[in-house]
Structure 1
């Protein structure tokens, strides 16, 4: 028997579970939303810069990113039907970890005016670096527990369930991609070989030193590879893949072929695979020292192949579902 969604059910585009949204995560998300306004003011009126970019830009990006991340995870936890107490504690670990990260980011960048990442220049810089690294791994472990819980839970319909599972697995992989940045550059390695220490260890860019020309707002390098791109896309799979499922649920109001769970679930799987392929593609491009705005022939060929496979498989699913909807009573 095929399960379908009625047009009236499809109006509930953002289903909320039977329990309240996770309060600590919501509190942190709200605090970060307010702090974002402060960050925008700082970016507009504080003319200080760091590594050639406005001083407030990095904290501001983290404020927005963390706020969206916390709000999304709070929603996902509301859908839990099993072991909710454990899920609540894991969400609280994430909330506390994110709050601690933002305190350190603002303190290091805005208050101290120091480079945030890769900075081992002084004992204080190294301590902040080490605390941030430990906090990130604690957040990652807590999200992993939530992902395992929801793997065996049954929130929402099948398409939404799989979108959440695939989003959590992709975001966990995306978080780990940050480790690629914590490798010595050739210049740093030479300095360590000569002196036995290096004040900075790791870099965002591949092929050039950090701080060169970059895209507006993001700062992603326009002259070499940038490992932040894959990391960013991977982390925010947490929003992108469930949004696809919710968008398909909304489209089911208008298109009967999408009302059964099966085609929407298949399209979510295709979308998640394409998104994962995109994360891999931009990371592979960055590792080769190639800028996101200057793709080479190999990158263009891989992009075209990924796009073509996604379009072909999506059309196959949609046309098959449409054919079934026309012959079904």
Structure 2
């Protein structure tokens, strides 16, 4: 796709905006030493700008490459752009104020921010799934390519809905609310006790269950499938490729579900539990074999028997 065509896509400019924001935030990590829950206040908007930027650039390619004739493609991109910008602007604004953007109900303003973000990401999720549905419907897409795109978009959609598990107020928070104490509603941590030192940059707990891990994993597995679809689009389609892509999708989804179960049990994915770690290692090994088999497929297939 030529750059002139990229410039007409709203999601492309959303990706550019995220890149600009990322560059703008980097010096603030050094200049502004304020922390929130032990982490620099600018780490969170940086993580979100990188994540949204990556999503924007990959999704705009999917839409333009495979849904070019869809009459709603620009409207879909506009909605995704606006809703993600609302999220990023509010997260960045709260970081500048030194306030938590998520789960924060200490003031009326913080409650409004948390509510707006929840609404915008819900709309974002619905339109994301609409793209996946249109890809699934599109008959002109080679089946192995379609398989890859549908799995990527579906797993990302699953990972997005995981986020709502974090927003439900916990029993102790409900009791505090009844007593008129408004502090937090929901949490990314599951389990009780010391969460331990957060993982470098990401801040994920290394001792307790942290729903941000499966949320992030599923969201960005999508990029693997988009890159795989781009690779497969240059090859002739085959039943073997379809089967291996499908098996890869099933394995990635099962890994994501397993991560959610482990987190809900209050156990960090980085606690190296023998059972869970064994499942992850086996799944990763099988995924590696599937991808290796897909990549090793010849670029062209002979339709005639050579004697």
Task: Please give the TM-score of this superposition, normalised by the length of structure 1.
Answer: 0.81
What whole-Å deviation, never above 9, does each CA across 1:58-82 have from its counterpart, x for those lacking one? 0000000001111111111102457
Distance in 2, Cα, partners of 1:86 & 1:124: 35
- Residue equivalent to 1:182: 167
C-alpha change, 1:55 and 1:328, in structure 2 (3 Å) is farther
Distance in 2, Cα, partners of 1:114 & 1:239: 31
Structure 2 unmatched ranges of 5 or more = none
Distance in 2, Cα, partners of 1:35 & 1:87: 25
Q: Is the 8 A contact 2:167 2:186 kept in 1?
A: yes
Q: Which of 134, 148, 153 pairs up with 2:119?
A: 134
Distance in 2, Cα, partners of 1:317 & 1:78: 24
Distance in 1, Cα, partners of 2:116 & 2:28: 25
2:85 is aligned with 1:99: yes
C-alpha change, 1:135 and 1:210, in structure 2 (3 Å) is farther
Structure-to-structure mapping, 1:24-173, within 5 angstroms: 24-81=10-67, 84-110=70-96, 112-154=97-139, 156-173=141-158
Q: CA RMSD in A?
A: 3.0
**Shift, 1:232, TM fit:** 0.8
C-alpha change, 1:103 and 1:210, in structure 2 (3 Å) is farther
What whole-Å deviation, never above 9, does each CA across 1:85-138 have from its counterpart, x for those lacking one? 21221111001111121111111112x110111011110000011111111111
Distance in 1, Cα, partners of 2:64 & 2:5: 6
Task: Please give the TM-score of this superposition, normalised by the length of structure 2.
Answer: 0.87
Q: Which of 209, 214, 218 pairs up with 1:234?
A: 218
Whose relative contact order is higher, 1 or 2, with alpha carbons under 8 Å and at least 6 apart?
1
Q: Is the 8 A contact 2:9 2:74 kept in 1?
A: no
What whole-Å deviation, never above 9, does each CA across 1:171-194 have from its counterpart, x for those lacking one? 11110000111123353244235x
**Shift, 1:294, TM fit:** 1.1
Q: Which of 186, 195, 201 pairs up with 1:217?
A: 201
Distance in 2, Cα, partners of 1:60 & 1:87: 28
Structure 1 unmatched ranges of 5 or more = 1-15, 253-258
Aligned length in residues: 303
2:228 is aligned with 1:267: no
